[in-house]
Amino acid sequence: MTPETKLEEIFTKLAPKQKSALKNLGLRTVRDLLYHFPYRYENPANLKRIGEVFESEKVRIWGKVQKIDYEKTWKKKLNIAYATVEDPTGRIKLVWFRQPYIAKMLPEGSCAIFSGKVAMRKQEKYIANPLYDIVPCNAVPAFSREDSAKLQPLYPAVAGLSSLWILKAISKIILASPSQGGQQVAVPEFLPKNIIEKYHLPELEKALRWAHFPKTEAHASAAKKRFAFEEVFLMQLLRIGLKKLKEEFLGLFNFQPTKAQLRAMDDVIKDLGSGHPMNRLLEGDVGSGKTAVAACAAYIVAKNGLEAAYMAPTEILARQHFETFTKLFKNSGIKIGLLTSSISNKFPSKVNPALSTHISKSQLLKWVANGEIPILIGTHSLIEKKVVFKKLGLAMVDEQHRFGVMQRSRLFKKSSLVPHFLTMTATPIPRTLALTIYADLDVSLIDEMPAGRKPIETKIVPPKERNLAYEFIRSKLVEGDQAFVICPRIEPKDPSKKGWLKAEMKSVKEEHKKLKEKIFPEFEIDLMHGKLTPKEKEETMRRFRDGKTQVLVSTSVVEVGVDVPNATIMMIEGAISRSGRPE
């Protein structure tokens, strides 16, 4: 047996409820169980004998359950559980109101430590609603047995798994010899000897014994010191390793990150090495470099043997991120997948390692489930039931305001463990602001643009100056720049319906025809909207990125995060409740 041996291989007769409870507690291996420490210790010296308790006295007693039952009162329909417990000095009655399940939790013959206030009714002492911790019956307090002065460990427990079961399980691993049914495990020491001596720490095996079976409070305290030091020590080593991975990542490509990006990367690294799940919002304007920070996080997670999922709101944006990641990771040896409703790609290709290749969706999902593709980028397709990760360590959501709470939650729940969670946005919504105020969400702000970026100008153009706007766009197109024209609709709105401003009624098809025939006939103009097939969208965006099209008339399908560096202008028609886009 090793520390990595599965508990189900040792405890072969676990009931379904016990298996579920172990999973809920995060106890899967021997190491997990050994590091499931008591939340406190019971000192028999602090216990009161039942025969010595008085009315109105707050006491803690040890007792063996002699009788337990529950009943329902006729008038108030009140469930009452009651028990009689005894020790060598006497008996006392215990009563629980509205807790009928107690009868199942404390079967006759079980032993526990009870605490509460003693009351008197009809010359009979009782304790109402006492707290209790189940303990082994052989751990009779010191007033009854000479060898029972050891501290009694009490463990965090859940329904289906008592503190007593955990104690017996750990005892089987640590204390019992093979002849007694035990399976003692050797846990190798990993702290350097000079550090153990310098800080007067017990060695690992001794610390584990003292943590679970301390003979004195000094033993328990020494074990606690050892494991507290160990946690900080490992955390510092992890952070050093993560920082090295960050430098390794930055060395993959010829790019000098901004100070704001480096700060954000350090925030993420601090979270990844904290021992607690990250829940961070990365906020920055379009083009500020949020994707590079996300790629750094994904790289670190992948290098540590876990998986990262990156969910984007549109197929176009998912493709863009996939292309960005493949450029950044081309020399890293890390495999990347792209999954949307119509696309399933893998990078690198076996034929040409510099390119990605199309594969079947079933094959991609199989590789993801096996952990062979550590980074998966996609749209809402990532939250479908058939998408299963082996060890999802990081969930990332781009343009998080475009996803509902439940959608983000479904990605978050793709892991059996709690993954790190990183969201990105250029436009935080009120719910996001509320989360940051109440400390449920940490924020990293990228408030600096990469070198060479020009200041972004946003202007509202009144109808009478529309021709001036067109002339400005023409001058930029002549210089070789490109432009987006965003319209709120695909088809023209029925003019007979009231309540629509003229500006709001502009449609992609109408505007495309107008610009192509009357305004910019000398330039190539294309259109894009949600009704096009994925292949048509891809071809349209490819022509625009390659500079074969100078103006792209589109709906908001390209409004969020799409990166075409040469597109320096965005004209938004009917801009009510919409946001502009910088270069």
Using CA atoms, how far apart are residues 416 and 390, in angstroms rounded to an integer? Answer: 9
Q: Do 427 and 523 belong to one domain?
A: no
Considering its fold, how many domains does the chain have in total? 3
What is the mean predicted confidence (pLDDT) over 552-564? 74
CA 527 remoteness from chain centre: 39
172 domain-assigned: no
Q: Do 285 and 400 belong to one domain?
A: yes
HSE-up of residue 73 (Cα within 13 Å, Cβ side): 10
Domain edge (last residue) among 446, 481, 503: 446
385-414 confidence digits (pLDDT tens): 898 998 899 999 887 655 555 665 666 666
68 domain-assigned: yes
Residue 503, pLDDT score: 46
C-alpha distances (whole Å) from 580 to each of 298, 554, 577 are: 29, 14, 10
Q: Do 436 and 468 belong to one domain?
A: no
Does residue 146 carry a pLDDT above 50? no
31 domain-assigned: no
Q: Do 406 and 469 belong to one domain?
A: no
Q: Do 440 and 485 belong to one domain?
A: no
Beta bridge partners of 72: 79
Domain edge (last residue) among 394, 413, 446: 446
Residue 145, pLDDT score: 44
- Residue 236 pLDDT level (bands cut at 50, 70, 90): confident
Q: Do 327 and 370 belong to one domain?
A: yes
Least confident of 18-27, 247-256, 498-507: 498-507
Using CA atoms, how far apart are residues 539 and 316, in angstroms rounded to an integer? Answer: 11
358 domain-assigned: yes
| The pair of three-digit structure tokens given for residue 472, joined into one six-digit string | 């400005």
| The pair of three-digit structure tokens given for residue 374, joined into one six-digit string | 């550590």
Q: Do 419 and 537 belong to one domain?
A: no
What CATH number is attached to the domain comprising 355? 3.40.50.300
363-391 confidence digits (pLDDT tens): 999 999 999 999 999 988 888 889 899 88
Using CA atoms, how far apart are residues 211 and 209, in angstroms rounded to an integer? Answer: 5
Using CA atoms, how far apart are residues 531 and 358, in angstroms rounded to an integer? Answer: 23
Q: Do 406 and 526 belong to one domain?
A: no
Does residue 42 carry a pLDDT above 80? no
48-91 confidence digits (pLDDT tens): 889 989 998 888 898 999 988 888 776 667 888 889 999 989 99
Terminal Cα-to-Cα distance of the chain (whole angstroms): 60
302-312 confidence digits (pLDDT tens): 999 999 999 98
Using CA atoms, how far apart are residues 513 and 416, in angstroms rounded to an integer? Answer: 52
- Those residues with Cβ within 8 angstroms of residue 8's Cβ, 6 or more apart along the chain or in another chain: 14, 19
Residue 92 three-state SS? strand
Residue 401, pLDDT score: 55
Residue type, 171: S
178 prior amide bond cis, ω within 30: no
Query: Which residues in 176-328 belong to E strands, given as ranges?
Result: 279-284, 307-311
322 domain-assigned: yes
Angle, nearest 10°, between helix axes 217-250 and 259-272?
Answer: 150
What CATH number is attached to the domain comprising 125? 2.40.50.140
Q: Do 69 and 121 belong to one domain?
A: yes
Q: Domain of 280?
A: 251-446
Residue 1, pLDDT score: 77
200 domain-assigned: no
Using CA atoms, how far apart are residues 489 and 278, in angstroms rounded to an integer? Answer: 39
Q: Do 440 and 293 belong to one domain?
A: yes
| The pair of three-digit structure tokens given for residue 124, joined into one six-digit string | 């009979």
How many CB atoms neighbour CB 269 within 10 A? Answer: 21
Domain edge (last residue) among 105, 129, 150: 150
- Mean pLDDT computed over every residue of the chain: 83
Residue 167 three-state SS? helix
182 domain-assigned: no
| The pair of three-digit structure tokens given for residue 258, joined into one six-digit string | 């901004």
441-482 confidence digits (pLDDT tens): 788 888 888 776 677 788 888 889 999 999 999 999 999 999
HSE-up of residue 470 (Cα within 13 Å, Cβ side): 14
Could you tell me which of 438, 574, 423, 433 has the C-alpha nearest to residue 506? Answer: 574
Residue 153, pLDDT score: 85
Q: Do 75 and 122 belong to one domain?
A: yes
Residue type, 345: N
Q: Do 442 and 467 belong to one domain?
A: no
244 domain-assigned: no
| Cut 0.75: pTM above it | no
Backbone CA torsion sign across 100, 102, 107, 111: negative
